[in-house]
Amino acid sequence: MRFSRWTLLWLALGIAIIAGVMIGTMRLSLADLVHGVIGVGEPMPIAVVRTLRLPRVLLAALVGAGLGAAGAALQGATRNRLAEPYLLGISGGAAVGAVLATALHTPIALVPVAGFVGALVAVALTLLVARASGGRGDARVVLMAGVVVGAFANSVIMVALANADASAVRGALWWMMGSVAEASWTQVRVLAIFVAIGIGALIAFGRAIDVLALGDDTAAGLGIDVARVTLGVYVVGALLAAGTVSAAGLVGFVGLLVPHLVRLAGARTHRAIIGAAALAGASLVVCADLIARVAMPPAELPLGAVTALIGVPFFLALLRRLA
């Protein structure tokens, strides 16, 4: 991708972040923002900027970056443009973890951890099921194993919710619809490290994914250990997705859509696609969070709902283009 397009991506992200911090129930000016960041002036805007808006906007950006990159890498590795980061049963597994934690009334801080653990268990199960079916290297077998594990997870969730009290159900549903409303600096820091390492690893895999995307036989002929590289991409992608899920619940469509958009804009090699998808995904989720906050005051829309609402028309347009 040409240099100017990268600049555009970074610029878009910057604008999105600034807008995200400035706009909300209380309108802040640019001056407020600056004061808030450096810590001078009225305590109220500083508190709003530092404790409420910045953490959630940054968390949203990290979630979007992680999902965009993971989606791009998985689409390349599976040679399937409909692949997305929640593929390997991740959404189901994370939801099971979080729902069980909510329904059992565990301390609130444990819910994200439970979600993460649930996601990892689901991925491990998916890969086990795929291997038992004889095709861990075959993308279709892994995809189907993911569907199976996801379906199983859904049934567990239904059982858990059937026996839970009303507030637990509401809490569980809210988590599953995705939100960065409770973002804290600790979360931002942890996710930042996670996402940095994850995206770095995926970009490093970039050239290998390009070769992998040529086809398993051709890739093998070019010296790629197809099974190992594919597994590596799955695991890193899954970890990234699991990390975002534990921070913000289920935020759909980002990992599916952003790689398409980035490829349409001209990114061809996977190093470029993954990097651009990370930036574009970050901007998208920051904007979605902004919409979630201002669309229906005084309530907040779930983040996952907004990304889906944005995603569907985009996707329809894409389908028409492809057809």
Partner 1 sequence: MFFIRRKERLSSRLHRANRIRLVAVCSLVIASACAREAAPKQSAITDDFGDTLVIGASPKRIVTLIPTTTEILYAIGAGPRVVGRTMYDVSPKEVLAVQDVGNGMRPNVEAILSTHPDLVVLYASTENRDAAHRLRASGVATAAYRTDHISDMARVTRVFGRLIGDTAAAERTVDSALATVDRVRKQTATLPHPKVFWPLWESPLLSVGGGSFLDELLVIAGAQNIFSELPQPSPQVTFEELLHRDPDLILTGEVTRARLLLDPRWRTLRAVQADRILVVDSTIMKGPSARIGASAVLLARLLHPGVKF
Partner 2 sequence: MIAFREVVVRYRGSAQLALDSVSLDAVRARITAVVGPNGSGKSTLVRALVGSIPLVSGSIAVDGESMDGSTRRQRATRIAIVTQREEPAFPLTVLEYVSLGRYPHLGVWRSPTKVDRDAVARAFELTETQPFERRAITELSGGEWQRVRLARAVAQGGDAIVLDEPTTFLDVGHEMAIFELLSRLAAEGQAVLLVSHQLNLVARFASNMILLKGGRVEAAGEPAAVMQGNILERVYDWPLVVTRDPAVGAPTLVPLRVRPRSARVE
- Which of 6, 80, 124, 174: binder of partner 1 (CB under 8 A)? 174
How far is the C-alpha of 100 from the C-alpha of 117, rounded, in Å?
A: 12
Q: Exposed, middle or buried, 220 (CB in 10 Å: 0-12/13-18/19+)?
A: middle
Q: Does 200 bind partner 2 (CB under 8 A)?
A: no
Q: Does 27 bind partner 1 (CB under 8 A)?
A: no
Radius of gyration of the chain (CA): 20
- From the list 11, 150, 7, 164, the residue with the least C-alpha distance to 89 is 150
Distance of closest approach, residue 10 Cβ to partner 2, in angstroms: 23
- Report the half-sphere exposure of 89 (CA within 13 A, side-chain side): 31
Distance of closest approach, residue 43 Cβ to partner 1, in angstroms: 9
Q: Exposed, middle or buried, 132 (CB in 10 Å: 0-12/13-18/19+)?
A: exposed
Chain positions 110 to 139 lying near partner 1, rule: CB under 8 A, are: 111
Q: Does 132 bind partner 2 (CB under 8 A)?
A: no
Q: Does 204 bind partner 2 (CB under 8 A)?
A: yes
Name the residue nearer to partner 1 (CB basis): 68 or 249: 249
Chain positions 212 to 251 lying near partner 2, rule: CB under 8 A, are: 213-215, 217-218, 220-225
- Which of 108, 196, 222, 295: binder of partner 1 (CB under 8 A)? 108
Torsion angle, CA of 232/195/243/252, rounded to 10 degrees?
-90
Binding mask 47-86 for partner 1 (x = CB under 8 A): xx--xx----------------------------------
Q: Name which of partner 1, partner 2, none residue 299 binds, using a CB cut-off of 5 to 8 Å depending on partner kind.
A: partner 1
How far is the C-alpha of 304 from the C-alpha of 98, rounded, in Å?
A: 16
- Sequence-separated (6 or more) residues with CB below 8 Å from residue 152: 92
Which residues contact partner 2 by CB under 8 A?
Answer: 76, 79, 81, 204-208, 210-211, 213-215, 217-218, 220-225, 263, 268-269
